[in-house]
Structure 1
Amino acid sequence: MSQGAFTSPKNTGLLAKRYQLKGLIGKGGMGEVFLAEDILLGGIPVAVKFLSQTVSSPKMKQDFIREALMSAALSQKSLHIVRAHDYGVSEEGKPFYVMEYLNGKSLKDLIPMTLPNFLNLVRQICLGLQCAHQGINVEGKIYPLVHRDIKPANILVVPDPILGQLVKILDFGIAKYVNYASTISTNGGFNGTLPYSSPEQLEGGELDSRSDIYSLGVIMFEMLTGAKPWQPETDLFGAWYKAHHFEVPRAIADLQPQLKLPQQLNNLIMACLAKTPSDRPQNMAVILQVLNSLESSICPLSPTIVPKSTPNPPGSSGLPLAIEKQCWQLTWPENKPIQEIVFPQLLETAQENLATISLMLSEQEIQKRAVCQLRNRFIWLTDPHPMLLWLTVIYTPALGLKWLPCYLDMQNPQNHQLVSALAEHERYPVICFTLEAPHDCANVLSSSIDFNQRQMLKTWVKQSQNLPPSSQAHLSKNLLKQQYKQMQSRMLNQMALTPQAVLR
């Protein structure tokens, strides 16, 4: 949940002996959201959503808990759905659930936007919806979900060191399982937001993922123009019913004549707005395929990864001479396979320990990458398991980007030592070993870490030492992999690189 203006909290104090409530930051039809600190995790900010007193019927309580469980299950599969990781009932008898706290902006506050920004954000929205449409496990079977309330107000955009902007889909309060019969009923009658509802949704009938695709079409139109595809006389149900069922959408070119919109993208948006579900794209994969094909021609190359400064000459690693000499003397570990891999290790020097990256490449590639630039990124997750992605990127004009990802389980004391050492130095070595025998060190590069990054690393080490034990490392690693792969895919599209140019 995002940060908003504080109002007078109706409830402050310690919740469930764990969450210190700070203040009210949001209110909706179904609940109130408070900023809180998780004292069990060292004061990490979280968002706590309470069911409103006015809708505390048994059915609403059941649906409220269902929303928490849906979000928890979906967020383990997609980075683009807000994470819910705890729920319960307060001492006053109010159901609540706990979400990650996200300090960002609503999509509605960013409209209208440029084409490159549009493509970046829409692609992420599609990935989140695709995850929901693919479904979650209920009683041993997979059931797809339809969100039913996709609109800019339910999409949050937060700053992100890798993607620039990270999309999070919120509010699965009226989401519906497809083909699932249970005592929980979200069918019957209209649910949703009128300007974004599909024609079939206004009828109150059965829905599938193509209803969300219609809502996405409305959002895409609005992201580019700042207006809705229709302009009914009133905001009443009847006026919107007429617009969605019978009126042709306005032309994007009429509203934004200066926008050089590719015909392929215009056709996609209009197809999503088709009145009949069978005339729309039938799934998110079709939409993503079109967006990916457009990205390389519209989006400029990211300047944060590919610097335009003059590369350092070979042999100038920037490391202290004594450390560079020690790196050159290293041999490939016997317990590591002879193949193109990357791994971190702690180098013991005469003065102190040093965090390093080792990788194995062919002699020819090491020579070609002798003149290069290096950048790094760090992504940290505390929930569901403390894990750090340490990502190093090597750029060589002739070969493009090479990615060196290292996933560190921060419940491992050895990784505490490794990250602590990483935070103590302005540079770390990247040691290149030859794939050919005798597998010696053939070059030593280095990457710099700025002061703010090093301070963050120190904070994360302290946080990880205070976290309770967890056995869900695979879930956090999967979430980190999603973020890494999205950036990787985007950059490959922009630079027209082949997958062979990437070290996994």
Structure 2
Amino acid sequence: MNQSLFASPSSMGLLANRYQLKQLIGSGGMGEVFLANDILLGGIPVAVKFLTQTVVDKKMQQDFAREALMSAALSQKSLHIVRAYDYGVNEKGKPYYVMEYLCGKSLKDLIPLPLPMFLTLSRQICLGLKCAHQGINIDGKICPLVHRDIKPANILVIPDPILGQLVKILDFGIARFLNYTSTASTSRGFNGTLPYCSPEQLDGEKLDSRSDIYSLGVMMFEMLTGKKPWQPETDYFGAWYKAHHFEQPKAIADVQPTLKIPEKLNNLIMSCLAKKSCDRPQNIAQILQVLNSLEDSNSPSIPTNLASSSILSRPLDSGLPITVEQSCRKLLWPPNKPIQEIVFPQLLDTPQGAMTALWLMLPKQEIKNYALSTRYNQFIFMTSPHPMLLWVTLLYNRQLAPKWLPCYLDMQNPQNTRLVSFLAENEHYPLIFFTLEAPHSCTNVLSSRIEPTQRQMLKNWAQQIHSLPPASQPQLSKQLLKQQYKQMQSRILQHLESQPQVVLSGF
């Protein structure tokens, strides 16, 4: 893109009467990325990517719109594909699309990786690719998506409170559009990144998922060794064409003699680099099967920083003083609350002082079923556009559907600030169960533990609220938190499923 089009943030103005462009934050072969604020949604940050091509032809605009729509639909299906929100063409004919703004590191800045991190990130990359290759439904037809430009620069790794590191694949669907515009304007019809291109891509052939698998093989080789499988004398097209078509890849052991990896992994990477697509793994599921077995044998995938934002309470954990539990069991369902399946926080007076508790009403059988569940909690605080806290508690039993208990607290409400302050004062909070069936009595009391880092975080939030300006958009913040909640549910379940199962006896 011509840099003079956006000389400074102050001169950028609004894009599509919605996105206030702020500053250039990245550039590459596909275009340039700007940080922007979505004015329609209260100024939340987004990333706007302008593509290199100028699109004035009506057919090309339609093709770009189709690719952008497919990319957006795909991003709703997989946690590991960057979320796309909007697209368009500006007055200069530059196509753009709007993505979630993520703070993380490019995979190219992290390699080479230790084996445990390699396995964790490779597995997530494969999950994103698998979702794309399976396709999305467009007008009743399943349309598989091939990325066409898998490389470390298109993989973003962001800190995640649940998984430790979360992979996001960038530029899905856009490579095909760029390939189309290149084909329309050049004789060669090639658009990609030479070191990672499959032989069939260099030949301009029709591509399927096995082309991405070849690129993935090149990237996995580099993730482990810091080097590519070939080192041609030049970076010109002809040199890379020769390497991909006629030269065998170097052996991992020759590139990094001190690196010890399982033979199964070495064989997997080399099979991905086969010249003929029929000799590679035929789908991502086959690669995932190998990676999963290696991850299981290497070590359990437990994020090192999980305790900083969430905690597990095992079925036999109590943590509540017996006097508190006895007080809870004497409680009556509040007369101002409806008789239905609901959950809400409320202060509780106990012999130990005030305590924040979760009150919930469920059918009697459900209460019994979840009596031996694992409890998990997480908190997310949003200061803008309106201060809002999401407090999630999960009852997890592998034999049952997970029971999610989300609470949204408007932190401008002094009563909710008080609830959070008392929540931070105690190591455990009670979950008080009332039966949906009459007489709606309390039949069980469980507890969920809040570890010290979480408690300090809650204290800081309760204090921070006093320095925030008044706001009046609670529904907007709640809507944004609901989006985050939906995204994090699969991550939480993925983490819990990796935990060793607790064996209970004597019940």
Considering the TM-score relative to the shorter chain, is it more than 0.5?
A: yes
Amino acid at match of 2:377: N
Amino acid at match of 1:165: Q
Alignment TM-score, normalising by the size of structure 2? 0.75
Residue 123 in structure 1 maps to residue 123 in structure 2: yes
Give the corresponding residue for 1:482.
490
1:270 shift after superposition: 1.1
Unaligned runs of 5+ in 2: 1-5
SS in 1 for 2:450: strand
1:153 shift after superposition: 0.6
Q: How does 1:90-489 map to 2 (within 5 A)?
A: 90=90, 94-172=94-172, 174-176=174-176, 189-299=189-299, 301-304=302-305, 316-317=319-320, 325-330=326-331, 344-349=343-348, 354-356=356-358, 376-378=377-379, 390-391=392-393, 406=404, 408=406, 423-424=420-421, 425-426=423-424, 427=426, 429-431=429-431, 440-441=443-444, 443-448=446-451, 449-453=454-458, 465=474, 467=476, 479-489=487-497
CA separation in 1, counterparts of 2:205 and 2:21? 40
Distance 1:453 1:50, change over 3 A: farther
Deviations for 1:161-212, whole angstroms, at most 9, x for unmatched residues?
11111111111354449xx9xx999997222111111111111011110110
CA separation in 2, counterparts of 1:263 and 1:304? 30
Distance 1:141 1:409, change over 3 A: farther
Give the corresponding residue for 1:28.
28
1:328 shift after superposition: 3.4
CA separation in 2, counterparts of 1:131 and 1:269? 21
Contact kept in structure 1, 2:345 and 2:407, CA below 8 Å: no
Contact kept in structure 1, 2:150 and 2:216, CA below 8 Å: yes
Amino acid at match of 2:443: D
SS in 1 for 2:429: strand
Deviations for 1:430-453, whole angstroms, at most 9, x for unmatched residues?
437699x99722554543433335
Amino acid at match of 1:204: G
Residue 56 in structure 1 maps to residue 55 in structure 2: yes
Contact kept in structure 2, 1:111 and 1:223, CA below 8 Å: yes
Amino acid at match of 2:488: L
Amino acid at match of 1:23: Q
1:257 shift after superposition: 2.5
Distance 1:431 1:389, change over 3 A: closer
Give the corresponding residue for 2:12.
12
CA separation in 2, counterparts of 1:469 and 1:447? 23
CA separation in 1, counterparts of 2:34 and 2:238? 36
Contact kept in structure 2, 1:83 and 1:99, CA below 8 Å: yes
Distance 1:422 1:252, change over 3 A: farther
Contact kept in structure 1, 2:56 and 2:93, CA below 8 Å: no
Deviations for 1:114-133, whole angstroms, at most 9, x for unmatched residues?
11101111111011111111
Give the corresponding residue for 2:3.
none
Tell me how many residue pairs correspond in the alignment: 464
CA separation in 2, counterparts of 1:92 and 1:363? 61
SS in 2 for 1:145: coil
Distance 1:111 1:140, change over 3 A: same
CA separation in 2, counterparts of 1:452 and 1:7? 40
Distance 1:297 1:93, change over 3 A: same
1:292 shift after superposition: 1.1
SS in 2 for 1:45: strand
1:26 shift after superposition: 1.8
Contact kept in structure 2, 1:7 and 1:25, CA below 8 Å: no
1:277 shift after superposition: 1.2
Contact kept in structure 2, 1:327 and 1:444, CA below 8 Å: no
CA separation in 1, counterparts of 2:186 and 2:319? 64
CA separation in 2, counterparts of 1:486 and 1:142? 27
Give the corresponding residue for 1:3.
none
SS in 2 for 1:191: coil
SS in 1 for 2:121: helix
Tell me whether 63-72 or 102-111 shows the greater mean CA deviation: 63-72
SS in 2 for 1:297: helix
Aligned-pair identity (%): 53
Contact kept in structure 2, 1:330 and 1:441, CA below 8 Å: no
Amino acid at match of 1:240: W
CA separation in 2, counterparts of 1:315 and 1:173? 50
Amino acid at match of 2:55: S
Distance 1:306 1:160, change over 3 A: closer
Deviations for 1:301-349, whole angstroms, at most 9, x for unmatched residues?
44545899xx9x9764379x7x655433347999678xxxxx7432354
Distance 1:442 1:375, change over 3 A: closer
Contact kept in structure 2, 1:40 and 1:467, CA below 8 Å: no
Contact kept in structure 1, 2:121 and 2:167, CA below 8 Å: yes
CA separation in 1, counterparts of 2:202 and 2:103? 33
Give the corresponding residue for 1:72.
72
Contact kept in structure 2, 1:112 and 1:223, CA below 8 Å: yes
Unaligned runs of 5+ in 1: 1-5, 338-342
Alignment TM-score, normalising by the size of structure 1? 0.75
CA separation in 1, counterparts of 2:460 and 2:67? 37
Distance 1:169 1:306, change over 3 A: closer
Contact kept in structure 2, 1:423 and 1:455, CA below 8 Å: no
Measured on the aligned residues, the alpha-carbon RMSD in Å equals 4.9
Amino acid at match of 1:354: T
Distance 1:28 1:314, change over 3 A: closer
Contact kept in structure 1, 2:124 and 2:167, CA below 8 Å: yes
Tell me whether 272-281 or 298-307 shows the greater mean CA deviation: 298-307
1:245 shift after superposition: 1.5
CA separation in 1, counterparts of 2:475 and 2:107? 35
Amino acid at match of 2:455: D
Distance 1:259 1:403, change over 3 A: farther
Tell me whether 27-36 or 450-459 shows the greater mean CA deviation: 450-459
Distance 1:316 1:134, change over 3 A: closer
